[in-house]
Structure formats: C-alpha cells, structure tokens
C-alpha cells in the first residue's frame, strides 16, 4: 500500500489561507492528512483540505473554541503548524509606536503560544504530536530594517526550544523553520516600498543569497512536511533553515 507521509493525521495550519501557509496545507493534505486551515481571513482557497475555520490567533477565546471544535470533529490534533505572522512596522526601534509593538508581538509571539497551548491540551490526551513554528532567518540574525520582527521571530525560535524540552517526554516534538526570502504577499508588501532604500535592500538580500534567487512557498512546505511527519521522529528543538544559503555566508 502506498500511504502518504502524514496519512491519517489531523493537522491545523494557522495563517493557511494564502502564501506559505496555503502551500503547507496543500502539501500535508496531498500526503494524507486531514487539514484544517485556520486563518483570520473569513474564507480562502482550501481546495483539498478538510475544513476552513476563521481564527484570530491573538485571541485566546477564538483559539480555544476553534481547537476544541476541531478536536471534537476529528477526534484529535496531531500536527500544528504555527505559520500565521505579520512583519510589523518598517522603522527603527526609536520610531515604533507602542501599539505597533503590541500588535506585532500579539500575532507573531502570543499567537504561537496560544495555538501551542490549546493544541497541546489535546495532544497530551492522544499520546503526542508535532508542532512546527514558523520563524525566519530574521530570527537567527539581526538587521536594520524591521528590528521588532527580528525580535519576535527570535522569540519564536526560543519558545520552540523551551517547548521541545518541556514536552519531549509527552511525545510532542516542537521544531522551528527559518525561511529566507520567499515569494508571497508578505514579501511583496516589503518590496512594494518605492524608496531607493527599499530597492537597495531587496538587491542586497538577493546578493546575500548564494543561490541568487528567492524561494517558493513549496520549498518551505517540503521542510514542514518532514518535521510534521514521523520521518523526523528523533528531531525536536531543531531549527530548519531554508534560505538558499543566506545564513551560510
């Protein structure tokens, strides 16, 4: 029998309506998982996935009810992909407003914690699972343009390691993925800035990538698939960098 790599598993992908998350959902579904797309957007393309659920990862009530409903409908949650994220203000730290800081951290950091919290409650009852947190190469190195995004993605990297240590004996693995520059609406919004600084930044980004081009959402989905599946059963607390060599030089 030719079974899929995540056959029979129930997966939730936050921010799964578009971009990298949409590709992750499609890849998991193609390999046999029952995938629920959980996104702030009211509806999106979820062809091939089992269901679409509107969720705001910054709200505990929204996350708790969604995850309880998903576990009730499908019996379990085996895979959580914490992919929802925003880049926040393109400003140096001294120009950022308090509300901009709070918004960025509520999506990128609190959102990962809340979804983890409510998925883990169910995973503990069914013997384990795999959590994949979307960080970034910007969670590994600093940079001058979006400093708070670096800080938030660094927090995601470390939350991953702490949760990996905490839940290893409960059969829950937790790993982070660190994409380089990937073609999506999010990266387009960063390069839509018409200023010469933005153009220079985009060029520097490509110049710093040994492979010389951006990645595709599929490149990230392939890595998530490995971490979500039992192929990575001895892997927890690791950071999978998928960046065309950006962080190697």
Q: Which parts of this chain interact with ligand NAD (CB under 6 A)? A: 14-15, 17-21, 39-41, 55-58, 83-86, 107, 111, 134, 136, 179, 181-182, 184-187
> Looking at beta carbons, which pairs linking 71-76 to residues 24 or more positions away fall under 8 Å?
71/122, 74/10, 74/34, 74/36, 74/50, 75/10, 76/10, 76/122, 76/126
Minimum Å distance from CB 202 to ligand NAD?
11
Nearer to ligand NAD among residue 100 and residue 171 (C-beta): 100
Nearer to ligand NAD among residue 68 and residue 128 (C-beta): 68
- The counts of H helices and E strands in the chain are 8, 7
Q: Give CA–CA dist 10/231, Å, rounded.
A: 16
DSSP state of 36: E
Task: Quote helix, strand, coil % in the chain, to nearest 5.
Answer: 50, 15, 35
Minimum Å distance from CB 131 to ligand NAD?
14
Minimum Å distance from CB 243 to ligand NAD?
8
Minimum Å distance from CB 111 to ligand NAD?
6
Nearer to ligand NAD among residue 83 and residue 116 (C-beta): 83
167 is catalytic: no
**Six-digit token pair at 122?**
């169910």
CB-side exposure of 210: number of CA atoms within 13 Å? 8
Minimum Å distance from CB 127 to ligand NAD?
27
Catalytic residue, from 149, 167, 201, 226: name it.
149
Nearer to ligand NAD among residue 168 and residue 206 (C-beta): 206
Nearer to ligand NAD among residue 188 and residue 233 (C-beta): 188
Q: State whether residue 227 is helix, strand or coil.
A: helix
Tally of residues, the chain: 249
Instruction: Region of 127 please: left (phi>0), alpha (psi -120 to 50) or beta.
Output: left
List active site positions.
149
């Amino acid at each position: 029998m030719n079974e899929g790599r995540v056959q029979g598993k129930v997966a939730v992908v936050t921010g799964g309506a578009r971009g990298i998350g949409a590709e992750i959902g499609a890849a998991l579904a193609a390999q046999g998982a029952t995938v629920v797309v959980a996104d702030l957007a009211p509806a999106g393309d979820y062809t091939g996935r089992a269901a679409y659920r509107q969720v705001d990862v910054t709200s505990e009530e929204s996350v708790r009810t969604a995850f309880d409903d998903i576990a009730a409908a499908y019996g379990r949650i085996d895979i959580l992909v914490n992919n929802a994220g925003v880049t926040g203000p393109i400003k140096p730290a001294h120009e950022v407003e308090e509300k901009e800081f709070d918004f960025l951290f509520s999506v990128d950091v609190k959102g990962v914690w809340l979804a983890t919290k409510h998925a883990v409650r169910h995973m503990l009852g069914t013997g384990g699972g795999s959590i994949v947190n979307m960080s970034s190469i910007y969670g590994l190195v600093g940079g001058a343009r979006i400093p708070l995004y670096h800080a938030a993605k660094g927090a995601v990297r470390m939350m991953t390691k702490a949760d990996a240590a905490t839940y290893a004996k409960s059969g829950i693995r937790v790993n982070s993925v660190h994409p380089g520059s990937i073609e999506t609406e999010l990266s387009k919004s960063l390069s839509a800035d018409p200023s010469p600084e933005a153009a220079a930044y985009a060029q520097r980004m490509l110049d710093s990538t040994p492979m010389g081009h951006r990645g595709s959402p599929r490149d990230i989905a392939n890595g998530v698939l490995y971490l979500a599946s039992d192929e990575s059963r001895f892997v927890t607390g690791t950071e999978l960098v998928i960046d065309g060599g950006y962080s190697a030089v």
